[in-house]
Structure formats: structure tokens, C-alpha cells
Amino acid sequence: MQGDGEYNRSSKVQAAGLSPAISLLVNAARAFELPSDAEPIVIADYGSSQGGNSLEPIALAIQVFRQRLGQKRPVAVFHTDLPDNDFSALFRTLAEDPRSYLQNHPNIFPAAVGRSFYEQILPVNSVTLGWSSWAVQWLSQAPRSIPDQVQVAYSRDSATKAAFAAQAASDWRTFLTHRGAELRPGGRLIILTMALDDSGSFGYAPVLDAMYGSLLNMVETGFLAQDEVARMTIPTVGRSRSDFLAPFQASSDGRFAELSVEHLEIFRGEDRIWNQYQKDGDAEKFGAQWAAFSRASAFPTLAADLRGGRTDPRTEEFVSGLEAGTAQKLAMAPAEMVIPLAEMVLRKE
């Protein structure tokens, strides 16, 4: 849904929580009990987008496998995302980016799967290591529109909140069910995703306020109709510790879909854009960078709810106007963003 490589260039925020999750992935690669036969190593990257944030973790995991298995054992890497993802940008990144795991290693075979991870999309018992970064917060669908915000966490409508909570619980179980099938016994899945912190906060309040305020301004100027903004929804959720654990705690052995939780931590990601602002005091840059993040990650979803849908002639003006409005509001009062994240390691028994 994003323009050519746009997501790769505006993913500074998503890089925030990567380092600790990468350590978990590397440890999982070290701990994996090697199959005795010549079975290929399979790494799955669930919700890859254009691949920019996948290069480093996957390169490091491959390095561990190479140390353990030598150069000859084939390693297959499946990057999965929705059909409309820009897979051409992904393959160009893999071919050209100096950080690409193809640069220094022979016998690595990347492929893409353009199907939703709310289905089984890889063969049963085939995945050695799974990785999913900044992806499983996206619901399979918005169960309804949100009357008073674009993000359910800041809605005050209790029926809406309940509908999103039910969808989030159901999608989490569906996601686990299919990953449980796809992982091979002893395989591990590392997840980094949006979360609710221990006080129940979703975070991102300043940027979401600025975004929703800009949408309301667009209604005031007559650029958007009231019913268009009412439809606009970002179908993401933050899950709490107990939301993540619920499917596992429902069984006596702590397992769900043959998976058990080896590790779960809720932590606060670093706001790198804020840190930069602390150094340079450049409020406009602060606003522009958070607005660019919002544009790449959420605006295409919002634009699809324009009256004319994906081919609405206002799309371009809408996206650039919303980016400018969001940036301006943030620049007027820069504030550190709370970025609650969860990291998990799941193991198939």
C-alpha cells in the first residue's frame, strides 16, 4: 500500500525495540537442536513489509546457523505480508542493500508469501525460526468504525472498545494456531509488537491527538465529510501481558497450539525522534519525522476510507495535507512519545 520504498525509509520508530528482540532471535538460533539429517533451515518473517527492518535480525540468525552448520546447508527465508505489499521493493532491498543477508552468504534462498498470517501459509512442521516484528498488532479487520478517534485505545465508546478487544483476542488465537502448525518441533517464534504498558496505556498520545485533530480540521475546511472521518480507523491494538498469556493460561499445561511461552516482557521503546530533538532542539524536524512515520504506517489505511475508496481523486492531497497538519501540531509542542512494546519467545514442543 505504500509508495516505492516509502515504508523502508520511514521505519525509524519501528527500529526502536529491535535490539532486544534481535538478541532473542540470535539466542534462539543458538539454542535450536539441529536436525540430524540434511533438512533445510527455514526462517519465516511474518509481516515483513518491504524488508528494511528484517535484514539485520535475519542476517544475524543466518550467521549463527552458518557457524553451526557450515556454508552449504541451504537456508530458506520466507517474507510474508498481505498481497498488496510492495514485494518488488522487498526483492530490490534484498538484492541491493549492503545490510542484506544475501551479500555475504551463499545458499540463502529468499521468497515472499503474499497472504495474510491469519491463515496457515507455510507447510506444517517446516519453520525452524519465526520472526514477527511490528506486525501482529494489525487486526485481521476492524470489527467496526470508531466514532471518536482513529485508534481504539483513545475512544470513549465502550461498545467499540469491547468489539476491538474481542477481535484482538480472536486474532491472537488465530495467529498462534497457524504459527503452532507451521513451526517444527523445537522451533521458536520471536515476536515484537505494540503492547499496553503496566498502567494500561497504549502510548503515542501526542501523535494520535495531532493526527485526529488534523482530520477534524479537514472537516472544518470542508475537504473531508464528517462521515468519512467517522469511518476512518487504524485497525491496530496494543495487548496487555494478560491478553498475550490468556490462550496459554486456559490450559493446564500452559500450552496453546503446541506452543509454550518461554519469555514475555513488556517494555518501553526508545523514542529516537525525541532523543534527536533533545540534542538539536529542532521542533519542526521532530514533527516532520513523527508525521512521516504516521504517513508510512497508517495513512494508506485511512485514505482507503475516503468516499471514493482507493481511487478517490483526493487521495494524494489528503495524505500530504494530513502529514503536514500532523507535523505542524507536533512541532508546536514536542513531547516524548510513550512506546509500549512486548517481546515474546514461543517454543513448539
Residue 283, classified by CB atoms within 10 Å of its CB into exposed (0-12), middle (13-18) or buried (19+), is middle
Q: CA 17, CA 137: separation in Å to the nearest integer?
A: 14
User: Does residue 83 belong to the site contacting a copy of itself (CB under 8 A)?
Assistant: yes
126 binds a copy of itself (CB under 8 A): yes
- Residue from 34, 111, 250, 333 that binds a copy of itself (CB under 8 A)? 111
Is residue 92 involved in binding a copy of itself (CB under 8 A)? yes
Q: Does 141 bind a copy of itself (CB under 8 A)?
A: no
* Residue 91 found at the interface with a copy of itself (CB under 8 A): yes
Instruction: Give the one residue of 9, 105, 115, 173 binding a copy of itself; rule: CB under 8 A.
Output: 115
Q: Of the two residues 108 and 142, which places its CB atom closer to a copy of itself in the complex?
A: 108
Least distance from a copy of itself to the Cβ atom of residue 286, Å: 32
Amino acid at 37: D
> Which window, 53-61, 81-89, 228-236, 340-348, contacts a copy of itself (CB under 8 A)?
81-89
Q: Is 69 in the site for a copy of itself (CB under 8 A)?
A: no
Contact 211, 294 (CB under 8 A): yes
- According to CB under 8 A, which one of 28, 29, 43, 90 is a site residue for a copy of itself? 90
Applying CB under 8 A, which part among 77-85, 165-173, 207-215, 303-311 lies near a copy of itself? 77-85
Which residue is associated with the grid cell 518491504?
A: 50
Nearer Cβ to a copy of itself, position 72 or 279?
72
Q: Answer yes or no: are the C-beta atoms of 77 and 58 closer than 8 Å.
A: yes
Q: Which is nearer to a copy of itself, 78 or 134 (CB)?
A: 78
CB of 132 or CB of 289, closer to a copy of itself: 132
Residue 74 binds to a copy of itself (criterion: CB under 8 A): yes
> Which one of the spans 72-80, 191-199, 200-208, 308-316 is the region binding a copy of itself (CB under 8 A)?
72-80
Interacting span for a copy of itself (CB under 8 A) from 84-92, 200-208, 229-237, 290-298 = 84-92
How many other CB atoms sit within 10 Å of the CB of residue 106?
A: 10
Query: Per rule CB under 8 A, is residue 177 in the interface with a copy of itself?
Result: no
**Residue among 3, 20, 35, 40 that touches a copy of itself (CB under 8 A):** 40
Residue with smaller CB distance to a copy of itself, 40 or 308: 40
> Is 110 near a copy of itself (CB under 8 A)?
yes
- Contact between 124 and a copy of itself per CB under 8 A: yes
The reply to whether 12 sits near a copy of itself by the rule CB under 8 A is: no
Catalog residues that contact a copy of itself under the rule CB under 8 A.
40, 74, 76, 78, 83-88, 90-92, 94-95, 107, 109-115, 121-124, 126
